[in-house]
Each structure stands twice: as C-alpha cells, then as structure tokens.
Amino acid sequence: MLKNIFYPTPQNAFVWLSSIYLLFLLYIGKASPMTILFAYFLETIIIGIFNALKMFWSIFFGKSEKHEFGLIFFFLIHYGMFVGIQSIFAFALFSIEGKGIIKEPFHIFDNYATILSLEDIKYALPAIIFTHLGKFISDFLHHKKYLKFSAKDIMFKPYLRIFIQQFVVILSFFFIVFAEAGIIAAILLILFRLIVDLVMESIKENSKVLDVLSEKLANEKASKSEIKKQLLTLTE
C-alpha cells in the first residue's frame, strides 16, 4: 500500500514538485526556515480561495443550483472569521519571539502585509499556490468532481485540513525559534506536509488505499461504503 501512497504519479506530481522545490530553496539559501513556515501559514488563505472557486464551478458547471450562489458569500464570511481568529492566535505566538517581524497580534492585515513583504516569500509562496492550482486542474476539473459534489458539500471541506496544517506550523515554529533547529525543523515541516498531502491524495475514488482503509475502519455502526464516502469527503 505504501507504493500506492508515495509513488510519483500525475495525480500527486504537484505535491512532489512543490516539496522538492521548497527543499531546494532551503539548500541554496533563497528561503529561510521562518519564510517556509510563513508560506505554509499563508496556505490557509489559499485553501479558502480555491474552495470558493470549487463552489463557484459546482454552481455554474455542475450539480448545484444557481440559487446556491449565496453559499459562496456565506463561506467567505464564515471562513474569513475563522481565519481571522486563528490568525490572532498564531500571531500572538509568533510575537513571543520578541525579535521577530510580528509585534502586535491584533493588527491582522498589517501582519499579513509584513509577511508578504518578506524578500524571500516571493520564492516560497508560489510553490504552495502551484500545488493547489495543480490539484484543482488535475483532480477537481479533470475528474469532473463538480458533477459529484454540490456547493453545499464543498463548503465545509477545508476545515479539517487547516486544523492539521496550522497545528504543524505552530509546532514547527517552537522548534525553529526556541530549539534553534531552524533548518532541521523546516525540512521536517516540508517532509511531514509531503507525507500528509500524499496520503490525502491517495484516498481517491476506486483507489486501493481507500479500499483498504475503509475495510479496516468499517464496523457495526458504519459500513465499508459509508466509511468510503466519509473518507472521500474529508480528503477532498
């Protein structure tokens, strides 16, 4: 089953290329460990943008009704508030360092502007955008998932993913700042995210990984087919 997860395929090529590129930036010194961390931190916003785009596509080209267009605005407001609260918490942690670029956690827009103005963020951030753009084209559009999922189905999909993502970012921050293990922590962050993303990419309809996992997780309360549906929803 490990081969089905880690073996490079057209489906997961964007994940592999993005991770290799970020490791290369670290190696040649074009991105610092903190910049890599901030790039993954900004991924929360990128995930929200692409999720709204998926909802839009489902409404205009898929199974959703046109009156569900309002769900996009609801999602953007709800997700924006969620990101705002999460950002205050994260910025409060980032400001603990004292010598860092984040000074006041409640100045959300100023803090994001400061991060985006970093010299090396222009090298690291495109890798994150490239990953999600590639997955949107090769997975969502190519497999016509807008015909399978409605805007309502898609609306709450990003939340589990960003909980995992932000937890890893914050944990890496402590290693970078307080353990003074910057390069090592950044490499581990990239590798861990690579593994998580590859696992999520491997859980696709009719895949061997999905079949094995659903069989192992099936029980009296949830059948194999129900587990499959839940896994597909959580990893979309």
Mean pLDDT of 150-174: 82
- Within-domain flag for 121: yes
Same domain, 176 and 229: no
Name the most confidently modeled range: 58-72, 75-89, 175-189: 75-89
Q: Which of 85-94, 108-117, 147-156 has the highest mean pLDDT?
A: 108-117
Which strand (E) or helix (H) includes residue 14? helix 13-28
Contacts of 69 (CB under 8 A, 6+ apart): 59
Confidence tier at 98 by pLDDT (50, 70, 90): low
* Per-residue pLDDT, 123: 94
Total number of residues shown for the chain: 236
* Structural domain count, the chain: 2
Query: What does R_g of the chain's alpha carbons equal in angstroms?
Result: 19
Q: Provide the domain limits for residue 234.
A: 204-236
Q: Are residues 234 and 142 in the same domain?
A: no
The pLDDT score that the predictor gives to residue 182 is: 78
Q: Are residues 185 and 217 in the same domain?
A: no
Is 30 part of any domain? yes
Contact 120, 35 (CB under 8 A): yes
What is the distance between the alpha carbons of residues 118 and 163, in angstroms, rounded to a whole number? Answer: 25
Does 100 share its domain with 45? Answer: yes
Contact 14, 134 (CB under 8 A): yes
Residue for token pair 């309502």:
152
Q: Are residues 28 and 138 in the same domain?
A: yes
The pTM of the full predicted model, rounded to 2 decimals, is 0.87
Position 5 in a domain: no
Q: Are residues 213 and 198 in the same domain?
A: no
State whether 71 and 180 are in the same domain: yes
Q: How many CA atoms lie within 13 A of 173 on its CB side?
A: 21
Distance CA 206, CA 127 (A): 29
